[in-house]
Amino acid sequence: MGKGRRMKKQGPPGPLDESLVTRKRKDAPPAPVVEKPVKKRKTEVKTPKKAPAKPATIGAAAKSKAKPVKPSKKSAPQPSSDDEISDEDFSDDADGIDDPDVMEDGLDGLKVTGLDALGSASESEDLEDDDFGGVGSDDFVDSEDEQPMKRNAMWSDDEDDEDVEEKLTAANIEGLSRKLDMQRAIEEAEAQAELEEAQLQTNIAGERPKILEDEDEEGQPITNLATQDLQLLRTRLNDTVRVLDDFKNLAEEGRSRAEYRAQLLRDICAYYGYSEFLADKLLDLFPAREAFAFFEANETPRPIVIRTNTLRTHRRELAQSLINRGVQLEPVGKWSKVGLQIFDSQVPLGATPEYLAGHYILQAASSFLPVMALAPQEHERVLDMAAAPGGKTTHLAALMKNTGCVFANDANKDRAKGLIGNIHRLGVRNTVVCNYSALEFPKVMGGFDRVLLDAPCSGTGVIAKDASVKTNKTEADFMKLPHLQKQLILAAIDSVDHHSKTGGYIVYSTCSVTVEENEQVVQYALNKRPNVKLVETGLVFGKEGFTKIGGKIFHPSMKMTRRYYPHAYNVDGFFVAKFKKIGPTPPNAVVANGVSSKGKGNRAPAAKEEEYVDRTPIAEEDDEEESDFGGWDEEEDKVYMERAERAHMRKKGRDHKANPKAAKDSQNGTKKVDGEKIAKTAHGSKARQAGGPRAKDADIGAKTNGASGEGGGAEMKLAKKNGKRKST
């Protein structure tokens, strides 16, 4: 039961459209005979004229993988006017939440490494087919920063020729709108029929629908509906939602909300095929009606979207080329300058000449969002910690116009190969691919201007794409994954240079909607790293992150994080949080291996203090005087050494030039100062090699020398640097 995926598309937009929660499963038995009033259209409906389909060059791999795209009805994400989600739980005890320790996960001792396998669901997030290698030219211009979009011309963000634009839009939209009109008419008729059917059921059931089971004399439940009957099951789902919406007026006497909620949970599991564990978790996120819409939206695929690669072409040119091949498309929405939503295609989108030439990448719309939030600037150093197969890496590179440097890392070597394929195909030239566990950063490398952590996750936002998530995620996954995500987010923060002149930002994203993988991870980062704060993502749509839910309270700034749902925006479920690093990691902070120290300010108090390990990277570009040995200059060092030597000899009344050994020592970079030898260490810094207690005396002597005489430069510098390092 509940096994299949509905291919029926979503109805008209609107987060809580009644039609979203009143449609039937396709595999349900036929409804009681209800006449479907088909609305008459005012305009004549003609068969759409399509541009002649030109056969594309199809590679063997692409041939087997790519399929023509079916049209999607609902338009791509639009900013919602109704962004409020009630935190209200179904259970009677939803309120009165004030336990400050709710963010403590009790998993500190759990050792997790790599965990590629656990990221499996989310790894299917992007639709990209990585079977194609690199293709030549990269002489195209990026249009990202061109003039803002005009209302009447969705294409005009990156083009200037209005005439061409209108023709292009008209040619494409003519066929498209006819098709959409037909679809809408059918949809309206269906929705109307379903509403009437629901009404019929309601009338039969009376004002207070009979939903909950009675018990017989022996306390055994008397089943009032055969749950094997999908149609009846759906009716009961509808009725239960109605009751929970208006409990006072519609609930049977003597019944609690919890009883209705439990019935709803059972029916959702039976109808949609979820494990009770996951359905329960997801049900907790929404009021009943919205939860119903969420589960329903997971039964329909999201629209196919492609991202224009602005390193190779402009969106309008790409659109024109694809329209000529018989692709029906439209800009994905005002929020993106590079996305195109595909409604229908005569050719496999993973095998067109434009695809092979790297003019676009198949990428879910919500995958654009973390990159847009990170907003990388030209010439920056950016780390993409979990990058394969590279949808976001290549987007980062395009926004940076192939300047600066992107380090694209992934722990999974096979997936990293796909990443390399995409980088080549899309003409990315500013990216270095690496294959570490991201937990190893910033030891591998640090000091980045911006870091993207698109974390491995449970994939509860992409159930429409991977229905196995419904049953294969266990309680253990929801402990291990957040634990890994928490470690990764600390590594991400520690890899950023808070001194960055242009950046200092971290974006954390998942394609999951659970609180454990999102707000709780972000709260953990706020607790453990008081040197970061949440900032606005800059994204124009999305629901606010939770500040309070299911007994957990989060920092008020959690409102600045953004949640995306399939039923609200017709995009994959997603979460995006943006941090600004405002200072170095303080010595009393908690390290990434899960030990904790005292929280600060509004942050939740944590458990215990442990040894501090400084993970803050040494920035490369810092002023020499500011850095810890980072800017040591060999030549300059030699000059100081020689000058110090001459001063020393003069003081002693000796002629420096007359002492060949001293001169030689000086040139080798070694010398004796009052019996103490100073030598360069292997990494170019200097260390005193005097042993035991003498070392301290010699150190004081050297400092005194430096302070009192002209030749103390090198020692002064060394002492200053040492002092700085210790206090960092």
Minimum distance, C-beta of residue 130 to ligand SAM, in the bound complex (Å): 10
Q: Encode 497-517: b = buried (16+ Cβ within 10 Å), e = exposed.
A: bbbbeebbbbbbbbbbbbbbb
Peptide bond into 389 cis (omega under 30): yes
Stretch that binds ligand SAM, among 1-9, 201-209, 300-308, 436-444 (CB under 6 A): 436-444
Residue 545, marked binder:
no
168/361 with CB nearer ligand SAM? 361
> Which residue's structure tokens are 């790599």?
114
- Binder among 11, 175, 389, 599 for ligand SAM (CB under 6 A): 389
Indicate the angle between helix axes 230-245 and 288-297, nearest 10 degrees.
Answer: 140
Q: Considering only 179-187, 385-393, 622-630, 678-686, which stretch makes contact with ligand SAM by CB under 6 A?
A: 385-393
Asked if 437 touches ligand SAM (CB under 6 A), the answer is yes
Task: Give the closest residue to 585 by CA, choosing from 485, 495, 454.
Answer: 495
Please, what is the minimum distance in Å from the beta carbon of residue 439 to ligand SAM? 5
Give least dist CB 362 to ligand SAM, A. Answer: 11
Query: Looking only at residues 335 through 374 of this chain, which bind ligand SAM when binding is defined by CB under 6 A?
Result: 367
Please give the residues from 630 up to 669 whose contact with ligand SAM meets the rule CB under 6 A: none
Among the listed residues 269, 434, 457, 511, the single catalytic one is: 511
Query: What secondary structure letter does DSSP report for 99?
Result: -
Q: Is 100 annotated as a binding residue?
A: no
Q: Which of 89, 410, 516, 715 binds ligand SAM (CB under 6 A)?
A: 410
Q: Considering the complex, what minimum distance in angstroms separates the CB of residue 453 from ligand SAM?
A: 9
Long-range CB pairs of 134-137, under 8 A, 24+ apart, other chains included: 134/358, 134/421, 134/424, 134/425, 134/427, 135/356, 135/357, 135/358, 135/424, 135/425, 135/427, 136/357, 137/312, 137/357, 137/427
- Beta-strand relationship, 676-680 and 671-673: antiparallel
The annotation status of 410 as a binding-site residue, yes or no, is yes
Residues between 447 and 506 with contacts to ligand SAM, criterion CB under 6 A? 454, 456
Least distance CB 146 / ligand SAM (angstroms): 25
From 455, 450, 437, select the one nearest 511 (Cα to Cα).
455
Name the minimum Å distance from CB 686 to ligand SAM: 37
94 known member of a binding site: no
Which residue in the set 318, 438, 490, 532 belongs to the binding site for ligand SAM (CB under 6 A)? Answer: 438
Site string for ligand SAM, 105-134 (x = CB under 6 A): ---------xxx--x--xx-xx--------
**Comparison of 287 and 418: residue with beta carbon closer to ligand SAM:** 418
Beta pairing, strands 671-673 & 574-581: unpaired
Q: For residue 603, which of 548, 527, 525 has the smallest C-alpha distance?
A: 527
Determine the residue type at 282. Answer: L
Measured from the CB atom, the residue of 191 and 496 that comes closer to ligand SAM is 496
Which residue, judged by CB position, is nearest to ligand SAM in the bound state?
A: 386
Nearer to ligand SAM by Cβ, of 340 and 678: the residue is 340
The verdict on whether 511 is a catalytic residue reads yes
Q: In whole angstroms, what is the distance from residue 366 CA to residue 350 CA?
A: 19
Instruction: Name which position in 11, 303, 350, 390 contacts ligand SAM (CB under 6 A).
Output: 390
Q: How many CA atoms lie within 13 A of 620 on its CB side?
A: 8
Main-chain dihedrals φ then ψ at residue 513, nearest 5 degrees: -110, 5
Query: Is 454 a known ligand-binding residue?
Result: yes
Contact stretch for ligand SAM (CB under 6 A) within 62-70, 287-295, 351-359, 388-396: 388-396
Task: Identify the three-state secondary structure at position 589.
Answer: coil
Per-residue binder mask for ligand SAM (CB under 6 A), 415-434, x = binder: x-------------------
CA atoms within 13 A on the CB side of 524: 29
Structure-block tokens of residue 164: 């061409």
Compare residues 155 and 524 and give the one whose CB is closer to ligand SAM: 524
Nearer to ligand SAM, 178 or 417 (CB): 417
Mask of contacts with ligand SAM, 677-706, x by CB under 6 A?
------------------------------
292, 17 contact by CB (below 8 A): no
Tell whether residue 387 is among the known ligand binding residues.
Answer: yes
Query: How far apart are CB 425 and ligand SAM at their closest, in Å?
Result: 14
**Angle (deg, nearest 10), helices 315-324 and 162-205:** 70
The total number of residues shown for the chain amounts to: 728
Q: How far apart are CA 8 and CA 187, in angstroms?
A: 10
User: Is 392 marked as binding a ligand?
Assistant: yes
C-beta closer to ligand SAM: residue 176 or 306 = 306
Quick one: 425 or 671, whose CB is closer to ligand SAM? 425
Is 293 annotated to bind ligand? no
Give the separation between CA 225 and CA 685, rounded to whole angstroms: 80
Is 438 annotated in a binding site? The answer is no
Please identify, using beta-carbon distances, which residue of 238 and 393 lies nearer to ligand SAM. 393
Q: How far apart are CA 547 and CA 378, in angstroms?
A: 34
For residues 95 and 603, what is the distance between their CA atoms, to the nearest angstrom?
A: 21
Q: Closest distance between ligand SAM and the C-beta of residue 294, in Å?
A: 21
DSSP H helices, 531-633, are 566-569
In the bound complex, what is the minimum distance in angstroms from residue 505's beta carbon to ligand SAM? 16
Strands (E), 565-664: 574-581
Q: Which residue intervals of 273-384 are DSSP H helices? A: 276-283, 288-297, 315-324, 353-356, 368-374
Interface pick for ligand SAM out of 373, 411, 434, 662 (rule CB under 6 A): 411
Q: Which two tokens stand for residue 630?
A: 């980072």
Q: Among the candidate windows 238-246, 437-445, 599-607, 657-665, which touches ligand SAM by CB under 6 A?
A: 437-445
Closest approach, Cβ 430 to ligand SAM, in A, equals 17
Q: Which of 25, 179, 325, 392 is in the footprint of ligand SAM by CB under 6 A?
A: 392
Binding-site residues for S-adenosyl-L-methionine sit at: 386-392, 410, 454
Catalytic positions, please? Answer: 511
Binding-site residues sit at: 386-392, 410, 454
Q: Which residues of the shown chain bind ligand SAM in the complex (CB under 6 A)? A: 114-116, 119, 122-123, 125-126, 367, 385-392, 409-412, 415, 437-439, 454, 456
